[in-house]
Amino acid sequence: MKGLTILLVDDEPLMRLSMMDALEAVGCDVLAVPTGTDGIEAIRGEKTFDLVITDLRLPGADGLTVLRTAKGKEPQTEVLVITAHGSVDTAVEAMKLGAFDYITKPFQMDELLLIVE
């Protein structure tokens, strides 16, 4: 897990900071942004990401748009979708679009780190 470059997209400041701290503590390089639009801009930039972790409901573009953008630019980039508003339909759509996994909030940081590993 050490050395992974991760884009984290979540509009909840405490959740974003908690996930960023946990990922950096295990050696990941994390760029954290608060909106889907910021996430898309980061993906379209020069930096490539090994993993994108995105919330589903975001200001600007939603998490599925972030997922589509990430997979469109770098198909090998893994995407983890997280949400407090999970449904079978959105989970199925995320997986069809190429998401690596889909987890619902609240979750334990250990669970997130296990998935990232």
Cα–Cα distance between 85 and 55 in angstroms, integer? 10
Render each residue's pLDDT in the chain as its tens digit; 117 residues: 688 999 999 999 999 999 999 999 999 999 999 999 999 999 999 999 999 999 999 999 999 999 999 999 999 999 999 988 777 788 888 999 999 999 988 899 999 999 998
Q: Closest Cα to residue 62, out of 42, 44, 46, 83?
A: 83
Number of domains in the chain: 1
- Phi/psi region, residue 60 (left: phi>0; alpha: psi -120 to 50; beta: rest), is left
The domain that holds 64 is classified in CATH as 3.40.50.2300
* Domain around 57: 5-116
List phi, psi (to 5°) of 51: -145, 140
**Tokens found for residue 110:** 């250990």
pTM: 0.94
